[in-house]
């Protein structure tokens, strides 16, 4: 199948700014996949995406989806991550495509870095709340997927929106998905649960504290520890260790004062 000409243009620019794609055992383990990666730093990649989208404002939402699909189905992790970065610089009109395409995109991503690049940022911040009637059943469906990348996405797609004051129904779905996935042991899920819960601290503290109190023994320990620390200090980690139940009690007492 011939490569989309816009995909080729972006790939050529990546190659010009980097070198031969490489693999590295440490990075493979850290990123969770063995996809080759171009040696190009994040600021350079982001600048490339910003410039490219600025030069292609005429692209329709459908045309942009074709470009992103080509990148996501590409061989390198750099191409896959580039798709999410391009979405950050898309116009509001270009973001008006059916969210269900994320389901097929996620089948081509592996590891937290590729999933998170696509599923966080300006697109999710604006479009998940704006297209909530479509996103809600999709997110609930993603949490039931056999694909762990898609299950992670059911959580991280809500992190950016919930970092703002949004409709309570997003909180309800977030807690439903957490509840469905809280028994999984894979770090791809446990860390996503922690991230999502911490995203709720600023604007959705009350329902978060109630859910945490009711489920403290069944949630992943790392999620409990980091969320309690965020509730207490505004940060996810600290040099001091405290038992989850003692931390929960401290957080409730401080709120009562």
Full-model pTM: 0.86
Q: Average pLDDT of the chain?
A: 88
Report the C-alpha gap between 148 and 139 in whole angstroms: 13
- Over residues 80-106, the pLDDT tens digits come to 999 999 999 999 999 999 999 999 999
pLDDT(8) > 90: yes
With residue 148 as reference, give the H or E element that holds it. helix 148-156
Mean pLDDT across 132-142: 97
Tens of pLDDT, residues 179-228: 999 999 999 999 999 999 999 999 999 999 999 999 999 999 999 999 99
List domains and CATH numbers for the chain: 1-97 (no CATH), 135-257 (1.25.10.90)
Q: DSSP letters along 195-225, please?
A: HHHHHTTTT-HHHHHHHHHHHTTTS-HHHHH
């Amino acid at each position: 199948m011939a490569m989309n000409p816009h995909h080729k243009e972006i790939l050529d620019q990546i190659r010009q700014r980097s070198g031969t794609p490489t693999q590295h055992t440490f990075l493979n383990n850290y990123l969770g996949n063995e996809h080759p990666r171009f040696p190009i730093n994040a600021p350079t990649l982001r600048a490339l995406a910003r410039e490219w989208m600025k030069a292609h404002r005429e692209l329709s939402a459908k045309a942009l989806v074709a470009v992103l699909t080509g990148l996501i189905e590409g061989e390198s992790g750099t191409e896959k991550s580039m798709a999410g970065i391009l979405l950050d610089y898309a116009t509001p009109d270009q973001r008006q495509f059916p969210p269900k395409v994320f389901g097929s995109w996620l089948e081509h991503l592996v590891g937290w870095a590729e999933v998170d690049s696509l599923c966080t940022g300006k697109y999710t911040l604006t479009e998940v709340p704006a297209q909530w009637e479509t996103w809600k059943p999709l997110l609930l469906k993603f949490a039931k997927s056999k694909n762990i990348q898609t299950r992670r996405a059911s959580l991280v797609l809500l992190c950016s929106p919930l970092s703002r004051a949004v409709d309570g129904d997003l909180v309800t779905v977030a807690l439903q998905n957490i509840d469905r996935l809280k028994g999984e042991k894979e770090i791809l899920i446990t860390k996503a649960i922690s991230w999502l819960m911490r995203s709720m601290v600023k604007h959705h503290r009350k329902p978060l504290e109630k859910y945490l109190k009711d489920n403290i023994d069944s949630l992943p320990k790392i999620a409990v520890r980091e969320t309690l620390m965020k509730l207490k200090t505004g940060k996810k980690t600290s040099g001091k260790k405290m038992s989850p139940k003692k931390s929960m009690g401290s957080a409730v007492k401080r709120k009562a004062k």
